[in-house]
Structures are given as structure tokens and as C-alpha cells.
Chains A and B, each alone.
Chain A
Amino acid sequence: AQRVTQPEKLLSVFKGAPVELKCNYSYSGSPELFWYVQYSRQRLQLLLRHISRESIKGFTADLNKGETSFHLKKPFAQEEDSAMYYCALGEGYGNNRLAFGKGNQVVVIP
């Protein structure tokens, strides 16, 4: 069963418009949630994690345990935000293994 769901495969937004990528999870324990990003021709890298409660490159994500969601948001999209974004759930011992969603391709239109 899919433990992490990212419903929209492709998201096109205009530069300066808000971006929201949806992520829902299924987990019986206390979840650890992450967003990973992959820019063109680069490796997968951590964007942010819910425990840090920080904003990275203007992106924020709030863990909502009631709705089992961890949506990624940015108020004003930039061209350099065009990338593949993956929501991931930390599982197992130490939450050290990741269950990824299928990913969202974000295209920012100039």
C-alpha cells in the first residue's frame, strides 16, 4: 500500500505565483516527514524536514497529523524552482529508511 501520496504528477506555475505541492501519508507511529528535491542533472537532495520547522529557499511545509498531510508551499515561485519534488516518510528503526511518493514535476513558466 502506498504510504506516501503525491496526487499531482506535473504542476506548471507562472513565475511569481504561489506553489503548493500536496503530500499525504499513512503511518501508525509518530511520523518523520521530508521533502527532497532533484534539479535537472543533479542528485536527489534534502530540501527540508518537518522537525526543523525552517524555511529553505522560501519553501515551508507544516505537518498536519489530523489530516496526515505535509504539503510544501512557496508564496512566489522562481524559475530556479523548476525541479522534481519528492515527499518522503521516515520509517523503520531510527526512521532511517525513507518511503517516497511518486514525485511532482514542477515547471515554473517565466
Chain B
Amino acid sequence: DAGVTQSPTHLIKTRGQQVTLRCSPKSGHDTVSWYQQALGQGPQFIFQYYEEEERQRGNFPDRFSGHQFPNYSSELNVNALLLGDSALYLCASSLGYARLSYEQYFGPGTRLTVT
């Protein structure tokens, strides 16, 4: 099991553009969370998907949206990119939403640079 995988590894976009990041959860996991990690900061929760629906959301604008597919993989979309969106975007998967689930497995991240 490769664990949580993310693609691409890194990308560069221009202000105003749109970007899509992808995540495949660890085998057997059904819940996917996305985090943004700015340089020198801890990860910040964006949102969480379970059963193809957004279940929880952090303090991020509507420019940030997502999707979960029937195979539990997920996408993070960011529209109208700002320079401040430059960060490492982490995907984490876990098992179960309705029951308490404590361990989240993180992917290697996608480094997004907005110029």
C-alpha cells in the first residue's frame, strides 16, 4: 500500500488562474481531509469529505471547493488564485466519519506557487 498519494508534486500558476489538486486515500480509508500549510506554519484545515459530501469546513473562502469520488479519491479546486494561496496542500485520509477516528494519514503534499 502506497499510502496516501497526491498529484501533482508541485506546480506553478499565475494569479487569477484555477487549479485542481488530486488525492488518493490510503487503502480502506473513506474520509479525506485537506489542509493548507503556509511556509513556517502548521497545517490549517480546509475541509473534509465523506460519502462524496463535504462534511466539515474550515475558515476558507468559497474559492476553495472540493469533490470526492465513489472510489474515495478527492480533488481540491481553487479558483481565482491569489498570491497568498501559495502553500503546501496536504491531503489526509482516515477511516470512518460517523465513528470516532483519531489517526489521519497524510500524503506528501502538493507545493503550489502562485506568481
Chain B: how many interface residues by the 8 Å CB criterion? 32
Inter-chain contact total with CB atoms closer than 8 Å: 68
One of A32, A44, A100, A102 near B102 (C-beta < 8 A): A32
| Chain A contact residues: helix, strand, loop or mixed | strand
Chain A: how many interface residues by the 8 Å CB criterion? 25
Closest to B107 in A: A43
A46, B55: Cβ atoms closer than 8 Å: no
One of B45, B102, B107 near A34 (C-beta < 8 A): B102
Residues 38 to 87 of chain B near chain A (Cβ within 8 Å): 40-45, 48, 55-56, 58
A94, B97: Cβ atoms closer than 8 Å: yes
**Assembly CA distance A92 to B94 (angstroms):** 15
B90 cross-chain contacts in A, Cβ below 8 A: 44
Q: Mark A42-64, 1 if CB is under 8 A from B, else 0.
A: 01111001010000000000000
Chain A CB within 8 A of B31 CB: yes
Binding site for B on A (CB under 8 A): 4, 32, 34, 43-46, 49, 51, 86, 88, 90-103
Closest to A95 in B: B100
Closest to A105 in B: B40
A44, B56: Cβ atoms closer than 8 Å: no
